């Protein structure tokens, strides 16, 4: 049981290219199959977190790889949807900047002499759920006003989440001394 959560996270990493390949394939219902991969990745994200907490097998590797897998899946889905024309490029640009800063900050914090990570918080989890819904809606109902509303709400929640991580980072590294 000790390694199952990390194995699920690694499996999710392999789902990232699978999503893109299916999304752009010429098979019938390619977007639906890609959506199923995306939803399966979301389920494994929930499952690995649940198992890690339930069996107290939370690892630093898991704390680092889990959000990385999530970010890669989200960015891949958003890039595919933007290329396809379902999502405005400015939304993708904001998310890429946001996620790149978070990834680089996470790597920087992890590789310092005094390893540290800032675990996911409720704002980050809410943004993840909202973007999962937004990706679902962009595939099922592209261009619909409800879909656009969900994208905007997801983006706002992503920015609130980003702000909360920045505040937590500065409190931990500059105000704690």
Q: What is the CATH number of the domain that holds 71?
A: 1.20.120.1760
Domain that includes residue 80, residue range: 4-175
| Straight-line distance from the first to the last Cα atom of the chain, in angstroms, rounded to the nearest whole number | 39
pLDDT in the model for residue 119: 63
Confidence of residue 171 (pLDDT cuts 50, 70, 90): confident
| pLDDT, tens only, 65-104 | 888 898 899 999 999 999 999 899 999 999 999 888 887 8
pLDDT exceeds cutoff 70 at 130? yes
- Count up the domains in the chain and report the number: 1
């Amino acid at each position: 049981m000790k390694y199952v959560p990390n194995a699920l996270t690694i499996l999710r990493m392999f789902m990232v290219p699978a999503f893109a390949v299916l999304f752009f394939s010429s098979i019938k219902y390619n977007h639906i199959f890609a959506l199923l991969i995306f939803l399966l990745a979301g389920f494994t994200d929930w499952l690995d977190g649940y198992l890690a907490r339930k069996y107290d097998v939370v690892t630093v590797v898991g704390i680092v790889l889990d959000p990385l897998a999530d970010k890669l899946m989200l960015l891949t889905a958003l890039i595919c949807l933007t290329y396809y024309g379902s999502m405005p490029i400015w939304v993708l640009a904001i998310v890429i900047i946001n996620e790149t800063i978070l990834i680089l900050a996470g790597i920087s914090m992890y590789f310092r002499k005094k390893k540290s990570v800032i675990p996911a918080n409720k704002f980050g989890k809410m943004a993840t759920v909202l973007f999962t819904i937004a990706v679902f809606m962009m595939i099922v109902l592209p261009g619909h006003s409800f879909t656009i509303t969900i994208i905007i709400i997801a983006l706002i929640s992503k920015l609130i989440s980003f702000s909360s991580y920045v505040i937590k980072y500065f409190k931990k590294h500059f105000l704690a001394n």
